[in-house]
Structure 1
Amino acid sequence: MKSYLIDSDKGIDAIRKVDAADATPGKGQVKIGIKAASLNYRDLVIAAGGYMRNDTRPVVPLSDGAGEVLEVGDSVTRWKVGDRVSPIFVRDWIDGAVDDAKLKTGLGGGVDGVLAESMIVREQSLVAIPDGMSFTEAATVPCAGVTAWHALFESGNLQPGQTVLLLGTGGVSIFALQLAKAAGARVIITSSSDEKLEQAKSLGADLGINYAKHPEWHKHIRELTAGNGVDHVVEVGGPGTLERSLKSASVGGHVHLIGLLDSPAGKVSPMLSVFNLLTVRGIYVGSRQMHEKMLAAMTVNQIVPVIDKTFSFDEAIEAYRYFASQKHVGKVVIEL
C-alpha cells in the first residue's frame, strides 16, 4: 500500500512516498480506500514542524479525505462495504464539548491522516457522503467547511441580513462565503488580487476590498457599512490582521479566530473588544455532528465546493507546492 509520510521538520521536502503495511480492520473499525484528499494551510505548518497537539513524527499527512468502505471489522453496525464515507477531522470529537485528549486526535497532525491509498478508521469517526456529491467534493469539507460552519452558525448564530467580513479567498473563506449567502447575509471579502475578488463576486460576494490598495482596509469597511462595522469577521490571518478585524466589527459583533495566515506574532490591545462588547472566540474545526450538519446544509442549498485545481496521487508534492504559492481560490485536491 502506497502512502505519504512526514518524518522530519523540513517543510514540503519532509514529505515522501513510502510503502506501508496494508492493515486489516479490527473490532469496531472500517477500512476505506481513499479516493481524494484536499490541502489546508495547516498541512504546510505541520510539514514544517507542526503546532500544539499536531507535531507527531512520523505521521501520514492531510486531514481531509473521502473514500469507499473496503472492509469492516467485527461489531461494525454503521457501515457496510461499498458505502461512500469521509473521515472527520478530529477523530474522537463526535458531538458536544471537546477536551484536550480529543484535540490530540486531529488527522494528519496528531494521528495519521488520509494521504494514503487506504486507511483504518473507527466506525464512529466517519460521515456519509451525500448522494450527488463526488469524492473530490466531499474531500474538501472536513477542515475548511466544518470550520466555516462552526464559526458562523454554531458559535456566531448568523442571522439573515447580517454582514460578514471574510479575509482572503482560501478554503475557509470561500466556504463561509457560500454558507453566508445561503443564509441571507451580506458578504464583504478581501484579497490582494482584483482577479480573485472578481471570482469571489461571481460566487456571491457583495463587495470586495483589495487590501494591497487599501492597507487601512478597516476604514474602508466602516465606510461600506455606514460607520457601523460588520456583524461577523471570519479572521484567518491571525495577529497580523486581528487589530484591523477588531476595528471592522460592529458593537456586539463576533470575531471568529481561525488561522495564522499572516504574522504568527504581534500584540493587539484587548480594549477594542471591551469598548465594543465584542465576542472574540477561537474556532478549531468541529465535531462529527457539525460535519453532518454542514453536509446537510450543502445538500439543501445546493452548495458545490469551489475546487481550484486537482492533482494525481503521484503529484502530491506538486500539489503542496502549488498550494503554498497561494495562487488558488477555494480548494486544491489530490485525487487517487
Structure 2
Amino acid sequence: MAITMRLGRPAGIDQLVPFEEDPGRPGAGEVLVRVRGSSLNFHDYLVVTGRMPTAVGRIPLSDGAGEIVEVGPPPGDEVDADPSMTLRVGEAVLGTFFRHWREGAPAQWGHAVVAGEHVDGYAREFAVVPVAALTRVPHGLSLAEAATLPCAGLTAWRALGCCGGIRPGDVVLVQGTGGVSVFALQFAKAMGATVVATSSSEGKLERLRALGASHVINYRAEPNWGRAAKRWTGGRGVDHIVDIGGADLLNQSIEACRTGGSIALVGLLAGTSGRVATGRIMAQQVRLQGVVVGSRTDQLEMIRAIESLGVRPVIDSSFQLQELPAAFRRQEAGRHFGKIVVEM
C-alpha cells in the first residue's frame, strides 16, 4: 500500500486527504514510477482551491520525478519514448506537464490533458505513467530539484529561448520571486543577458541581486516600475519581459519594453482581463507572445541547456507528502522565493 493525497468536495486546501491505496500495475506503454519529488505551481493552487474545477477525488500536482520500479508490456508499434531513456528499473524519470504535446507548435490537442487536473497527478508515492509522458532527468540534479522543472522551469525556458530569441547582451525584465521568474533570471544570466528584477520585499530584492540581477525595483516604493525600468536603460527600454501578471499590469510591461522588443505573457496573477494599451503595442511594434509551458521536445531541449549552462533550481522549502496542505498555505501566503517542493 502507498500514500496518496486526494482532493475532496468542496475543493479547498483543507480538503486534501491522505489515503492508503494499491500502487497499481503498468499496462502496455506504461511504467510504474516511485515518485520522489513534486513541486507546487500556481496552476496546482487553482485546482486545489476549486478555481480550476476538477473531478472529486483528483490527485493533484502536475510536476513529478522519481524512479521506474516496474515496466509494463511493450506497446507494439506505438513505442514513443524519449530515446535517451533506457526504460529500466531504477532509471530516474521526469514527468511532462502536457501528456500529449510531444513536439512541434502548440495545438489544441496538445493542451487537452494535464496531470493533476484532467488526470491524476503526482501527490502520491507511486504513479502509473505513460512512457510518452516522461523524459530523463538532468544529470547532476536531485530528484527534488528535477521535480521543479516541468511547469515553471519549462515555462521560463520557452519564454526566453523558444519565443523570446534571447541573445547575449540583451536586457531581460522578470517580475517577482516565484518559480518561473527565478528560473527566467537564472536562464537569462546564464545566456549572457542583463537582468532587471522586481519585488515588493527588500529582503527578496537582495536575494535577486545575489542570483545575478543587475538592477532591482521595489514596485511598492516605485508603483510605475515599467517607467523606472526603461529609465534605467537610458530610455531605450528592455529587450525581453517575462510577464506573470497579465490584465492591467501588462501595461507596465509595455511601458518598460523597447521598440521592437518582446513580452512573454506567462501568468495571470492579476486577473484574466483588463485594459491594455494596444495603441502602444502597435506604435512600439512590441511582440506579445502567450506562453503555456511547452512540449516534451521543449523539455528535452531545456534539460540539455541546464546541463550545459550549469543552472540549479532554487528551492524555497521542502514538505513531506502528508504536509501538502501546509505547503499550499506557504504558497498562498506568498512568502516563498523560488520553488516549494514536496518530497516522498
Residue 41 of structure 2 corresponds to 40
Match of 2:271 among 225, 248, 263: 263
Aligned equivalent of 1:283: 291
Cα distance between partner residues in 2 of 1:291 and 1:258: 16
- Higher alpha-carbon deviation: 56-65 or 111-120: 56-65
Give deviations 1:212-255, integer Å, cap 9, x for gaps.
Answer: 10001111112101111111110001214111111111111111
SS of the counterpart of 1:98? coil
Secondary structure of the equivalent of 1:26? coil
Pairwise mapping of residues 109-148 of structure 1 onto structure 2 (< 5 A)? 109-148=117-156
TM superposition shift of 1:56? 4.0
Aligned with 2:114 (options 106, 109, 122): 106
| Contact 1:240/1:264, CA 8 A, preserved across alignment | no
Residue aligning to 2:7: 6
Q: Does structure 2 conserve the Cα–Cα contact (< 8 Å) formed by 1:165 and 1:234?
A: yes
- 2:5 and 2:322 in contact (8 A); partners too: no
Q: Which residue of 1 aligns with 2:90?
A: 82
1:227 — aligned with what?
235
The residue correspondences of 1:155-170 to structure 2 (distance < 5 A) are 155-170=163-178
Query: Contact 2:153 / 2:183 at 8 angstroms: preserved in 1?
Result: yes
- The residue number in structure 1 matching 2:216 is 208
Would you say the 8 A contact 1:218–1:248 is kept in 2?
yes
**Change in 2 beyond 3 A, CA 1:265/1:13:** farther
After superposing on structure 2, the runs of 4+ consecutive aligned residues of structure 1 that deviate more than 6 Å are none
Summarize the alignment of residues 253-332 of structure 1 with structure 2, pairs less than 5 Å apart: 253-332=261-340
What letter is aligned with 2:122?
Answer: V
Conservation of the 8 A alpha-carbon contact between 1:87 and 1:125? yes
By how many angstroms is 1:157 displaced? 0.8
Q: Which residue of 2 aligns with 1:64?
A: 63
**Aligned-residue offset at 1:58:** 3.5
| In structure 2, C-alpha distance between the alignment counterparts of 1:254 and 1:21, rounded to whole Å | 49
Q: How much has 1:171 moved relative to structure 2?
A: 0.2
Structure 2 partner of 1:19:
20
Task: Look up the match of 2:83.
Answer: none
> How much has 1:44 moved relative to structure 2?
1.1
Candidates 131, 152, 157, aligned match of 2:160: 152
Report the Cα distance in structure 2 between the residues aligned to 1:213 and 1:142, rounded to whole angstroms: 34
> How far apart, CA to CA, are the structure 2 residues paired with 1:9 and 1:248?
42
Q: Distance in 2 between matches of 1:269 and 1:222?
A: 17
| Farther-moved stretch of structure 1 (75-84 vs 61-70) | 75-84
Compute the displacement of 1:261 (Å).
Answer: 1.6
Distance 1:49 1:314, change over 3 A: closer
Separation of aligned partners in 2, 1:212 and 1:315: 33
In the aligned structure 2, how far is the partner of 1:131 from the partner of 1:244?
A: 38
Matched, 1:243 2:251: yes
Q: Is the Cα–Cα contact under 8 Å of residues 102 and 110 in structure 2 kept in the other structure? A: no
Q: SS where residue 139 of structure 2 aligns?
A: coil
What is the Cα deviation at residue 197 of structure 1? 0.7
Give the percent of matched residue pairs that are identical in Structure 1 and Structure 2: 39
* Count of residues paired in the alignment: 334
- TM-fit CA distance, 1:174: 0.5
Paired with 1:57 and 1:239, the residues of 2 have a C-alpha distance of 31
Report 1:182-221 matches (<5 A).
182-221=190-229
In the TM superposition, what whole-angstrom CA distance separates every residue of 1:271-303 from its partner, at most 9, and x where no partner exists? 111111111111000011111111111111111
Shift in Å at residue 50 of structure 1? 4.0
Deviation at 1:17, TM superposition (A): 1.6
CA separation of 1:137 and 1:230: change in aligned 2, threshold 3 A: same
Quote the Cα distance in structure 1 between the aligned partners of 2:244 and 2:270.
8
Deviations 1:187-234 (A, max 9, x none): 000000011011011011111000010001111112101111111110
- Listed one character per residue, the Cα deviations across residues 36-68 of structure 1 (whole Å, up to 9, x for unaligned) are 1100111111112244xx634442101111100
Aligned-partner Cα distance in 2 for 1:72–1:117 = 17
- 3-state SS, counterpart of residue 68 of structure 2: strand
Q: 1:92 to 1:84 in 2, by over 3 A?
A: same
Aligned-residue CA RMSD (Å): 1.4
